Amino acid sequence: MKLIPLTLQHAPDLLEFELYNRTWFEQHIEPRPDDFYSLIGVQTHSAELLMDKTLGKGVPALLINQQGDIIGRVNLANIAKGKAFLGYRLAEKYVGRGIAKQAVGMMLELAKQKSIQKVVALTSVENIASQKVLKSHGFVEKSKLRNFTCVQGVNKDCLEFRLDLDSN
């Protein structure tokens, strides 16, 4: 397992990953807009992430297994004033293998190299697996965000976690 930087050439494989795992993801997080699920939609999304990287506002990456298949994603977004938001998603068949934990650890190392001092991550109250991944890296629960997202027509509470990289 390794992280490789996102390029526009990944769009077809990224679209396949997102389509294959769409039902799984949408059980846990707010769905992406329907127009995302096309080659042009994924290319546009990727271009936006790459523009954020160019502007110093994001760190896009892909989580890749040894055979070159995309099995997940991890990124830092909304980077400003030494603070970034961590996001990640993993294909259903790879959950529970420690891959998300490893990928988050790798991204946090990259965050340190980019002089990011604080990392924020959000997870639904029900997503215990993500909470365990975050806590394993020293994230601390800071607040509960009521009705923060809508998943399958149901408003969901989320938890905000924070990590101070200066103290790690």
Q: pLDDT tens across 59-76, in order?
A: 888 877 667 889 999 999
Alpha-helix runs per DSSP H in 27-70: 39-54
pLDDT at residue 30, rounded to an integer: 83
What is the rounded distance in angstroms from the CA atom of residue 125 to the CA atom of residue 158?
A: 5
Q: What is the mean pLDDT of the chain?
A: 91
* C-beta of residue 86 within 8 angstroms of C-beta of residue 76: yes
- 2-167 maps to CATH 3.40.50.720: no
CA dihedral sign of residues 97, 73, 107, 132: negative
pTM (2 d.p.): 0.90
Percentage of the chain lying above the pLDDT 90 cut: 76
Nearest to 63 by CA among 99, 39, 34: 99
